[in-house]
Amino acid sequence: MSQAPIALVTNDDGIGSRFLLELTSALVERFDVFVCAPDGERSWIGHAISRHQRLVPEAIEGMKCPAWQVNGTPADCVNLALGHLLPKKPDIVVSGINLGYNVTWPMILSSGTVGGALEGTLEGIPSVAVSMALPPEEFDDIRESQGEVRGDLLRSLRVTARKAALFAEELVRTSEEQEFVVHNLNFPEFSTEETTIMEVEPARIRLGSLFAPDETGGYQLFYRTEWLDEADPEPNTDLAALRQGQASHAKIDFSNSSSANG
């Protein structure tokens, strides 16, 4: 192993996500990278830890670094990798790149991407969650293709990955161990090298019911774009930055529970 810092990478869209692969490609230029990610999508699952599921890591060939897929949650993947798969404690945990944004308190606290980063934070490791907004009309197709994008979106994804890797490198140099902070990065649909990252706070909105009735008589999670479209965010929040097409960085400080009240 080289003298480069070690990065553990996970996500909540599954190990086959193109967004994960682009992030890994950017990180290997600056880190010794290990990937441990779910074997399929685990979105909206927060920091869930599997209680009754028997976890079985499976080595994955063909990536640019050692990699495993796990039949569990993002937080499972990080905890399992830290305890059993990595040769030593990593210098940073990077979770993402998520398909779509993770802004506002309700989405942040429900996000599997943030949950994976939180597990690193709880182990005293600097941790970053990275997300990239997508055109709403294209989201379902991109999700079904596991993040296959082309043209301007692919260029934006690669810029996002490079900027996330640079952020992670700087965080390793400056972060203090045992700091219970998740660094939540959100990038716009179309980032360029000139895109700067604004320091923001998470917007405080209420989503109401997350579920809609389906044809079986039950209820299914149904994302409504009007949740954010109709919100009136305060200036200097992650939602305001998203509206302006800006990248944002919010520090989610879990050592100060009062920051999430309201």
* pLDDT above 90 coverage of the chain, percent: 87
> Would residue 106 count as lying in a domain?
yes
Separation of alpha carbons 244 and 258, rounded Å: 28
CA dihedral 66→143→102→221, nearest 10 degrees, is -120
Establish if 211 belongs to a structural domain. no
In angstroms, the Cα distances linking 238 to 80, 165, 168, 182 are 31, 20, 19, 14
pLDDT of residue 258: 45
Q: What is the pLDDT of residue 257?
A: 54
Asked whether residue 216 is domain-assigned, the answer is: no
pLDDT beyond 60 at 122: yes
pTM: 0.94
What total of structural domains would you count in the chain?
1
Model confidence pLDDT, tens digit, residues 18-30: 999 999 999 999 9
The residue assigned the tokens 């796990």 is 70
Q: Establish if 251 belongs to a structural domain.
A: yes
Domain hosting residue 29, numbered range: 6-205+222-260
Residue 232 pLDDT level (bands cut at 50, 70, 90): confident
pLDDT digits 0-9 by tens, 172-194: 999 776 678 999 999 999 999 99
Residue 64 belongs to some domain of the structure: yes
pLDDT tens digits, 62-73: 998 999 999 999
Hey, what's the torsion of the CAs at 250, 190, 99, 176, to 10 degrees? -30
Query: What residues contact 244, with CB distance under 8 A and at least 6 apart?
Result: none
> Given a cut of 90, is residue 12 above it in pLDDT?
yes
Q: Would you say residue 85 lies in a domain?
A: yes
Residue 83: which CATH number? 3.40.1210.10
Residue 29 within any structural domain of the chain: yes
Mean pLDDT of 230-237: 91
What are the angstrom distances between the C-alpha of 89 and each of 6, 42, 227?
A: 8, 25, 39
Peptide bond into 45 cis (omega under 30): no
Inside any domain, residue 210: no
